Amino acid sequence: MMTTRAAMRLRILVWAVLAPLALGACGTPRVLQINPTASVPADIAGTVEMFVATTREASSEPVYFNGERGPRLAFARLDFTVPRAHKTGELELPDSGPSDPAKHFAVTNVQRLDLAPIVADVRREILKRPASQRDVLVFVHGFNTNFADAAYRFAQIIHDSGFKGVPVLFTWPSRGQLLAYPYDRESAYYSRDFLELNLRAIARDLGTTRMDILAHSMGTLLTLESLRQASIRGDGTFGGKLRDVMLAAPDVDLDVFRTQMREIKRPVTVFVSADDRALDFSRRFAGDKTRLGAVSAKDTEIIAELEKLGARIIDLSEVTSGDPLNHSKFASSPKVVQMIGQRLQADGGIATAGPQLGDRLGDIAGGVVGTVGSTVGLVVTAPVTIISGGR
């Protein structure tokens, strides 16, 4: 049995690891509280409509879907307004209570849907767009994220990136609690068949031209596992519809990532940052194993190996953002979220290296493009470094 002194030392160690994260995770869990007040058009910068597929258990309003595991996929449609005062990279939300549409992102509609109606609705939204905008962007959120937080963050990403296609949020059963890391990790594995099923339905049934995936944190583990098993089944491209796979701050063991990529056999773009405090917590929690999202340009041998497996690494270590944990730079940095949007609008996608990607980044960051080693390396002096690339 553990002695009292040993138990005390363990509690002190756990608190030392968790305290910095806990300070950023306090407060009442957010919900999707619809604001009954009619908004004034002059106060609104735009609207965002998204569709939802989830493995979460259904719950009563205003939670709608909680952190437990549902037996099957459930679906919904969400509508948001964006305040005129919104600043790119920020997610303006009230500390408590309903949102003020003039100041905050506000939810105006939550509609739970069965499979047939949501397929019809998404297909209608896709087909009414010009051919160049018949894209679907699937967002897979990370650890410690409840349903409302995932939806608000995706709404901000959609608006700030200027994405013109149809957004689909895939939200899995994270309990939204810091100490529920093991439960969340198992929930990610629980959801991989459902995510693969959802991606196949999008590619096959909705009339989309192409499909992109943006995954964050632990959601990257879920995404990679789904892509791995899809590849093993013999159709890792989802009928040729899958284009960009973007992994932001991936909470994935490097050894695991290597085995996944040997089966996936396709390019992926990875946003990393050496100062990611959340991944530092994850590393300590996972046997002191380096997380993919915490590598940087200094890890030259690791980068060279990952490049051979098809990973294109974008180092955000020098990027500053409003995120105190440096774990959401892909969304909270104006330059990075706009870069993602511009590449989603391009025919080749962000996973295509070469002068186009450098030109885009140069426009955004005011950097320069150069050649590195034997590959086409794209270096942006401030603030983004594309470590690896090449056709």
How high is the pLDDT of residue 385?
A: 54
Which CATH code is given to the segment(s) 31-352? 3.40.50.1820
**pLDDT > 90: what percent of the chain?**
64
Tokens describing residue 281 = 């917590």
Report which of residues 90 and 286 the model is more confident about: 90
Mean pLDDT of 65-73: 98
**pLDDT > 70: what percent of the chain?**
80
Report which of residues 322 and 312 the model is more confident about: 312
pLDDT in tens, 260-278: 999 999 999 999 999 998 9
pLDDT of residue 368 exceeding 60:
no
Q: pTM of the predicted model, to two decimals?
A: 0.85
The answer to whether the CB of 281 falls within 8 A of the CB of 294 is no
pLDDT of residue 352 exceeding 70:
no
How high is the pLDDT of residue 390?
A: 35
The answer to whether the CB of 14 falls within 8 A of the CB of 76 is no
The answer to whether the CB of 337 falls within 8 A of the CB of 319 is no
pLDDT in tens, 370-385: 222 222 222 222 345 5
254-258, 289-293, 305-309: least confident range? 289-293
**Taking CA 178 as the corner, what is the angle to CA 160 and CA 88, rounded to the nearest 5 degrees?**
10
CA distances from 89 to 85, 308, 331, 336 (A): 12, 32, 6, 9
pLDDT band at 20 (very low <50, low <70, confident <90, very high): very low
Mean pLDDT of 225-230: 98
How high is the pLDDT of residue 281?
A: 84
CB atoms < 10 A from the CB of 218, how many?
Answer: 27
How high is the pLDDT of residue 325?
A: 87
